[in-house]
Amino acid sequence: LPHAISNRLAAQGLEEHLPLEMEDRLFKNAPERVSSSFAHRLSFLHTSPAAKAMVSGFIGEGGSFSEISRLTSKELPIFLRLASVAPEHALAAVERFAAGGNLGKLHQFEIEKIAQLVQSIAYDANLFDRCVMTLLALRPLQAKDRNSGEWKLEQLRALFQPYYSGTLATGAQRAPHIKRLLASDDHEELKAGLTLLAEALKVRNFLHTSPLQFGARKRGVGWWPKSIEDHRAWHLLFIGI
């Protein structure tokens, strides 16, 4: 069936069943293929109140998929798919995970997937500040660059570019994070601040790592200077730091 029809039928079906019943049949006691397929379908239903309520129960605090450090390699992809339906709950789960500072059952390559998720959530200017803090908190769990021995900061670097940032946050919202890092007594935070400042002052060779889709949520390239005045204001802001 076309996505538009299958999504509508799925949303109607959710309203006819209890969340606990669905969780039991399609997650807890279902083959991996079934649970993965159901999570994939749910990821397209962010406009459905029933889907939002169900997913919020799954990944919200206390839910079956709310403690990332306890998720298996089979359960993490389900969490990542469900995140697009309830981004705030997903971000809160990652915040708790990052604060714990423990990989749990996960591997470092899976931390990259979690960081990419946070980067997607950062498209929303209202969640940008929390996403930046979360990405910084995830840093100790991520692998360093094999050649330089430094943190890659790939997702953070993209968020501070003037073009292709993948976030609707303006320069005025991004600049305070760089100022705070540059004023830090922590050497690693200072280096991160310098890296992000360099990204903000770039004029070419921008990263293109921002996803253009998040579940069924469409994503653009983010806020960018659309006029000479915008361009000048952006660079004056970050040069002034």
pLDDT in tens, 185-207: 999 999 999 999 999 999 898 98
For residue 147, what pLDDT is reported? 76
176 pLDDT higher than 90: yes
Q: How far apart are CA 7 and CA 2, in angstroms?
A: 8
Q: Convert the pLDDT of each residue in 111-151 to its tens digit.
A: 999 999 999 999 999 999 999 999 999 998 887 777 777 77
Alpha carbon 33 to its chain centroid, in Å, reads: 24
Q: What is the mean pLDDT of the segment spanning 46-74? A: 90
The C-alpha torsion from 80 through 81 and 86 to 91, rounded to 10°, is 10
For residue 111, what pLDDT is reported? 92
Integer-rounded Cα Rg, in Å, for the chain is 19
The pTM of the full predicted model, rounded to 2 decimals, is 0.89
Within 10 angstroms of residue 32's Cβ, the number of other Cβ atoms is 11
Among 112, 46, 120, residue whose Cα is nearest residue 82: 46
Lowest mean pLDDT among 100-104, 118-122, 222-226: 100-104
Percentage with pLDDT > 70 across the chain: 91
For 32, 113, 197, the CA distances from 107, given in Å and listed in that order, are 20, 10, 30
For residue 4, what pLDDT is reported? 57
70 pLDDT higher than 70: yes
Q: How far apart are CA 87 and CA 96, in angstroms?
A: 14
1 pLDDT higher than 50: no
Among 120, 122, 140, 143, residue whose Cα is nearest residue 131: 122
Long-range contacts from 17-26, C-beta under 8 angstroms, 24+ separation? 19/53, 19/54, 19/57, 22/54, 23/54, 23/57, 23/58, 23/64
209 pLDDT higher than 80: no
Lowest mean pLDDT among 3-7, 39-43, 144-148: 3-7
